[in-house]
Amino acid sequence: MRREPLAPRREHLVLPRGLRAALVAGAGAGLLLGLVLPASADPVYPSARQVAQAKAATAAKAAQADAIQARLIASTAHLEQVRAGAEQVAEAANGATLLLAEKTQAAQATRTRAAAAAAVAQQASDKVGQLAAQAYMSSNGLGGLDALLSSRGPQDILDKAAGLSIVSDIRNRTLAEASASSVVAGVLQRQAAQAQAQQLAAAQAADAARRAAQSQATQAAAETARVQQEQATMLSQLATLRNTSLALERERQQGLEAQAQARAAAGARAAAQARAAAAAEAARRAAEQAKHHPSGGGSPGASTNGGSGGGSGNGGGGSSTPTPRVTDAPPPVSGGVSAVIAFARAQVGDPYEWGAAGPGTWDCSGLTMRAWAQAGVSLSHYTGAQWGETARVPLSDLRPGDLLFFGDSGPTSHHVGLYIGGDEMIEAPYTGAFVSIAKFWGRPDLLPYGGRP
């Protein structure tokens, strides 16, 4: 019987007892870890609800930021209205002060004329009295008849009659002069009384206007401080909502305002160019009409004036005031404009004060008045008067030294600046600000015509 070979004998590794216990413990721990930890680290995604909540929160912040931005824009517009209102009242006070000066001068002149007329009337009255006394002293009851009866002949009678006639003429003329001078004196005394009453009324109006301007300036300063504080709070809120800084938000707001001003300036320039083109076209048509109808002086002239007024009215600033007639404005005073602008530049940095005309503090019309005085040109301390004292110049034809007016109309304008070229003017702007160089294109109340002294 064949015997199968025997399988090789396996030898078993015998481990020490301590090591075997350690391996068993490690295997158990690994098993436990396998039971506790997941087999793989799968990513965790936000739920649809969480996504919706995040989107809603982002939208809410954006809406809050937009609302704050709108409030900032509205507050800036409100400040401009407050300042314009204060300027309007301040210039009204300047106008009332100017009117008081005119009424005072008129009253003084009328009093002087009345006093002179009263003196003449008194002299005439004295002459009448003297004649009456002479007539009384020389009369014995028969008067002129006694002189005739005592004559020594016909010729003597004629001579004495002629003398009596001359005396009578002198008496009559003296009486007439006395009567006339008395009437004139009475008329001038009544005029003086009226002028005095007008002066008193103007003084009361000027005092009321000054008090109103002071009150308005105080209110404007307080409102400006309140709004600026409110704007600072809103900028801080924007910085929080947008996760930026207050400085960055200030820069952003300044940039947005600059963009808005640039857009407005572009529109204003385009409008000024359109007005200039329309005026040039109207002038060309008028010249053509005059060429074809040289003898029709009356009718063409009337139609030309009507057409010019209509064209200008379409480009004017305020509908309540007719557009001023544009004439050939005189050129600026040669050699004087540089002195005007240099003086205005030297005041940059001085504070605004309504009613002030230097030194050290200025309002808008006070600055332009003193600046043009450097060239020997006299302007009144009132924007409305300066409008009337200067020639109309379209904005497209401005030259350095010309005046820029702001308001509803020229006579009621509330602000004036000195044009220095480009897009810049020197102005004394409003309470709380300082004389500065500023841009003017795009300001909503800029009138379409400047003034050339």
Domain boundaries, given as residue ranges, for the chain: 56-242, 259-290+335-452
Give the 3-state secondary structure of residue 361: coil
Q: For the domain with range 56-242, which CATH number is right: 1.10.287, 1.10.10, 2.40.170, 2.60.40?
A: 1.10.287
Asked whether residue 147 carries a pLDDT value surpassing 60, the answer given is no
Q: What is the pLDDT of residues 222-277, one digit of tens each?
A: 999 999 999 999 999 999 988 889 899 999 988 988 888 888 888 888 887 788 78
Q: What is the pLDDT of residue 366?
A: 97
Mean pLDDT (whole number) for 150-167:
50
Confidence category of residue 122, pLDDT binned at 50, 70, 90: confident
Q: How far apart are CA 140 and CA 162, in angstroms?
A: 20
Which has more confidence, 363 or 260? 363
Q: Which CATH architecture has domain 259-290+335-452?
A: Alpha-Beta Complex (3.90)
Q: How far apart are CA 118 and CA 128, in angstroms?
A: 15
Q: Are strands 391-394 and 436-439 parallel, antiparallel or unpaired?
A: unpaired
Residues composing the chain: 453
Q: What is the pLDDT of residues 204-213, one digit of tens each?
A: 999 999 999 9
Q: What is the pLDDT of residues 64-101, one digit of tens each?
A: 889 999 999 899 899 999 999 999 999 999 999 999 99
The dihedrals phi and psi of 417, each to the nearest 5 degrees, come to -135, 165
Asked whether residue 280 carries a pLDDT value surpassing 90, the answer given is no
Q: What is the pLDDT of residue 301?
A: 42
Asked whether residue 311 carries a pLDDT value surpassing 50, the answer given is no
Plot region of 169 (φ>0 → left; ψ -120 to 50 → alpha; else → beta): alpha
Q: What is the pLDDT of residue 295?
A: 57
Asked whether residue 19 carries a pLDDT value surpassing 90, the answer given is no
pTM, 2 dp:
0.67
Asked whether residue 104 carries a pLDDT value surpassing 90, the answer given is yes
Q: What distances in angstroms separate CA 195 from CA 40, 50, 187, 368, one per listed residue?
A: 106, 84, 12, 31
List the helix and strand counts (H, then E) for the chain.
Answer: 9, 6
Contacts of 349 (CB under 8 A, 6+ apart): 434, 435, 436
Q: Are 428 and 91 in contact (CB under 8 A)?
A: no
